[in-house]
Chains A and B, each alone.
Chain A
Amino acid sequence: MANSIMASSKPLIFLSSSSTQPNRIINLPKLAKLPQIPKPISSSSSLSTKALSFSSATVKSLALIAALAPPSMAEAMEKAQLFDFNLTLPIIVVEFLFLMFALDKVYYSPLGNFMDKRDSEIKEKLASVKDTSTEVKALDEQAAAVMRAARAEIAAALNKMKKETQVEVEEQLAEGRKKVEAELQEALASLEKQKEETIKALDSQIAALSEDIVKKVLPS
């Protein structure tokens, strides 16, 4: 590629433009002879000496190329320029500035603002979630307090129940004891009575018996 770029340098263009129609016709007979002069091998061996000196042969061959080259290529080479600054540059500047402002209106600003807003919203939500942790703690404490109160209530009720039942049981016990004692007393009293009765009975019998004994023992 560098070849064609270099080939587009001024001398070539000058030659190509200077070689008019009649010159070409005159050159054509030479065409048969010329290929023998610039043979690739011989020329490459003597390139170092010939390259800078621009011998007449090279000039001729250049002219030949210019003449031989298809007109489209010659035209193209005349205009072939890599570093061709022109009005394209300021137009591209304007286009770029337009693109920058348009993209800012369409893309950067709206989407950027939207993303920032979303970011701050998410951060706010996160912060609020962190804040509720105290609320959760308070609720937890409340729940614990309720549990404690309930437990205390239950314990109190249980104690009350226990006391009540104990009193009842004691009452019943006392009642039962009283009954038993009364029965015992009664039984003891009846026993006493019977004892006295039997003693009385025995007393009367003793008198009769002792009389009998006396009668039997004492000879009368």
Chain B
Amino acid sequence: MNVLSCSINTLIKEGLYEISGVEVGQHFYWQIGGFQVHAQVLITSWVVIAILLGSAALAVRNPQTIPTGGQNFFEFVLEFIRDVSQTQIGEEYGPWVPFIGTLFLFIFVSNWSGALLPWKIIQLPQGELAAPTNDINTTVALALLTSVAYFYAGLSKKGLGYFSKYIQPTPILLPINILEDFTKPLSLSFRLFGNILADELVVVVLVSLVPLVVPIPVMFLGLFTSGIQALIFATLAAAYIGESMEGHH
């Protein structure tokens, strides 16, 4: 604790804290009906949603038989999403394409917006604008939706027989099977949250230490990890849905 206090002391004295501007866990709060919300998350998520809807509407407005430019790209993305869903869910993947696709696109665009969009230009009274996925609320929301989705998939496919999977190999595994329902959203949300937050922090810290050249490889690494995280989240969600839909008999 002493070392810590000393290091903070020197940081304050040299004013590094002010220069580097590393802000973690600080939020710009809005009050909505007696509840608090993280305004920076909402603002960036609106921008992400606007980007997604706008570009999709623009590109798919008037589909041509021989696709060009934007339509070509969006067809490629849709085929990619369909491929991921089909691989993980199986033949009945059709109704799940919107869910998996939106998970992938929302997380992907959120992550990349944190790295590519110059959010820092807009000054907030407190906290700062960053990727919506570096807030635990967003990732937990998405993970809980995934949980609801795979429960819905299993129950709608097999009715109450779905719950027989909890004692499937042997009833001894019942506690572990129940535990899985908690670890799945937990691991999903914390993986995404930790990766994105750590990525942005590494970039910010490196920029504060060496403002030139050095952070660039880390930034590219960050872009890579962001894409991978989006793919992992979507793939795992699809895998969970497929797992709850497949027959155990």
Contacts and interface: CB of A to CB of B under 8 A. Distances in A.
Interface in A90-125: 90-93, 95-104, 106-108, 110-112, 114-115, 118
For chain A, give the interface size range. 35 or more
Given A76-B23, A93-B144, A96-B141, A83 B4 contact: no
B2 A38 contact: yes
Nearest to B79: A115
B175 to A, nearest CB: 26
Nearest to A115: B75
B53 to A, nearest CB: 6
Contacts of A158: none
A146 interface: no
Contact of B56 (A43, A76, A100, A103): A103
Interface stretch (B96-104, B114-122, B210-218): B96-104
A61 B9 CA distance: 10
A38 B6 contact: yes
Given A5-B24, A88-B37, A73 B17 contact: yes
Nearest to A42: B2
Interface string B154-196: 0000000000000000000000000000000000000000000
Interface string B49-81: 100110011001001010000010011001100
Given A1-B201, A87-B37, A110 B63 contact: yes
Contacts, number: 173
Size range of the interface on B?
35 or more
A37 to B, nearest CB: 9
Interface string A6-38: 111000000000000000000000000000001
Nearest to A80: B25
A82 B98 contact: no
Which 10 A/B pairs are nearest by Cβ-Cβ distance?
A43-B2, A87-B35, A88-B137, A107-B56, A92-B141, A80-B25, A104-B98, A100-B102, A82-B25, A89-B137
14 contacts: A6-B4, A58-B5, A82-B25, A83-B136, A91-B37, A92-B132, A95-B49, A96-B106, A99-B53, A103-B105, A104-B102, A106-B60, A107-B101, A115-B79
